[in-house]
Chain A
């Protein structure tokens, strides 16, 4: 399954307990989980148990949020290659911060699998997996504009808020433009792997598409800027953000998460 901006946006517009939560609480919750996960010791078998429980909790939240399971699995799967690649290599590497290695298997050519490397690789992968799942949950239950508004209310500087709130509006414009360029190229049988045309020509076409995307976004920026000026925009303009009150269910979700982290940390 190929995931695009549209899929993420569609999921984030669903209705559920998690979708209704205040954006600030959801962002803080995600941040707390990720920081806790990253701070766990990297050479401890218990870390994997702790991460396993947190991961199951996040999966349960994904189910409660009513996300499409194929979508959620695909979202997680497409981000895995880098983390998986790095983790798989660990058993074969002598990590500089580990002083003693117990060799499990010798593979010849000086390559061997170490117990410490195996543990380290598993912990890395588990950490990566939990963090990715947390971000997938956040982005699938929170509309982008809510995230920007929440970030603003959490203290993001007004200039960055302006940049992000406008950028997410144009993401779809230029994503659509990219799609139209691709469709147009397809109708003309353009294929980047076509061996019957010179490679140079193919690269030129891609370069032209990229320069066209660059110019069109630049010009869109200019147009928007001038129309903002017409509507009396100035450097001191204030951004209006949607406000939502933190409700009882938000406090509840946040406390449940904190209690779970506490239990995982002190009872395992």
Chain B
């Protein structure tokens, strides 16, 4: 889902960058205020961790392997959509600048679809569902929805860039990610969250534990 440089016209990349910058600024504000004192350094190691997590091969149907995005998992555990935005931004910047994966001008668009959409969809869908269907079901749905909606946004971005027809793009990107998202993002988010809950429940934000927090 990493859109590269040269595919999106310059004026559109500026718009995506501006949107991304607003959310990055907001996520820094969240880190400063909500993350106790100045725990910002903690996020640096987590960014490196998510980077490694994204390199983990996951078997998906048709014999191809996929990768996890991790925005929903980070947002759920740290209890804020902005955690997903900030961590994915760190990862995408390193991928774009060091690995040439995702581009420089197009980075704003990638931060918008994976970080912002991934983090927000993941966090709010989890919170909407956690009290009715429990942690496992909600985290599965949140992981799946986060990558599915992000892929639709990516298809719309490609349509605006003039490089892909709208309906075919939505259908192709949507279907593909809906299928690989079941295993790659949904199941893995649910398994990992369950495991972390069992091993170190104190790490998981109170807001994300069913029965308390936002939706309660």
Known: A79-B99, A217-B48. A93 touches B188 (CB 8 A): no
Does A35 sit at the interface, judged by CB under 8 A?
A: yes
**B13-47 CB contacts (< 8 Å) to partner A:** 13, 24, 28, 31-32, 37-47
The chain B residue sitting closest to A42, CB to CB, is B9
A35 engages B40 (CB within 8 Å): no
Residue from A159, A170, A209, A211 in contact with B40 in the complex, judged by beta carbons closer than 8 Å: A159
A93 engages B165 (CB within 8 Å): yes
**A164-184 CB contacts (< 8 Å) to partner B:** 164-171, 173-175, 177-178
Does B3 sit at the interface, judged by CB under 8 A?
A: yes
Residue from B37, B58, B164 in contact with A206 in the complex, judged by beta carbons closer than 8 Å: B58
Encode contact with A along B66-94: 1 for CB under 8 Å, 0 otherwise: 00100001000100000000000010011
Alpha-carbon distance A30/B44, docked complex (angstroms): 26
Alpha-carbon distance A150/B58, docked complex (angstroms): 36
Does A216 sit at the interface, judged by CB under 8 A?
A: yes
**B137-189 CB contacts (< 8 Å) to partner A:** 158-159, 162-165, 183, 187-188
Encode contact with B along A3-39: 1 for CB under 8 Å, 0 otherwise: 0010010000000000000000000001100110111
Known: A82-B2, A207-B195. A216 touches B42 (CB 8 A): no
Does A234 sit at the interface, judged by CB under 8 A?
A: yes
Task: Assign chain B's interface to a size class.
Answer: 35 or more
Known: A38-B10, A207-B187, A216-B49. A128 touches B44 (CB 8 A): no
B42 engages A221 (CB within 8 Å): yes
B187 engages A215 (CB within 8 Å): no
**Chain A min CB distance to B167 (Å):** 12
Alpha-carbon distance A100/B68, docked complex (angstroms): 42
**A-side contacts of B8, CB under 8 Å:** 38
Does B6 sit at the interface, judged by CB under 8 A?
A: yes
A202 engages B7 (CB within 8 Å): no
Which one of A57-65, A130-138, A256-264 is at the interface?
A130-138
Does A222 sit at the interface, judged by CB under 8 A?
A: yes
A157 engages B41 (CB within 8 Å): no
Which one of B101-109, B112-120, B126-134 is at the interface?
B101-109
**A-side contacts of B45, CB under 8 Å:** 166-167, 170, 174, 217-218, 220-221, 224
**A-side contacts of B94, CB under 8 Å:** 164, 167-168, 171
Does A265 sit at the interface, judged by CB under 8 A?
A: no
B199 engages A211 (CB within 8 Å): yes
Q: Which A residues fall within an 8 A CB radius of B?
A: 5, 8, 30-31, 34-35, 37-39, 42, 75-76, 79, 82-83, 86, 89-90, 93-97, 124, 126-132, 135-136, 138-139, 144, 147, 157, 159-160, 162-171, 173-175, 177-178, 192-193, 199, 202-204, 206-218, 220-222, 224-225, 228, 233-235
8 contacts between A and B (CB under 8 A): A93-B164, A132-B4, A132-B5, A164-B93, A211-B193, A220-B45, A221-B45, A235-B37
Q: Which B residues fall within an 8 A CB radius of A?
A: 2-10, 13, 24, 28, 31-32, 37-53, 55-59, 63, 65, 68, 73, 77, 90, 93-94, 96-101, 103-105, 158-159, 162-165, 183, 187-188, 190-193, 195-196, 199-200, 203
Inter-chain pairs besides A34-B105, A131-B104, 6 sampled, C-beta below 8 Å: A42-B162, A132-B100, A144-B98, A171-B51, A221-B45, A225-B41
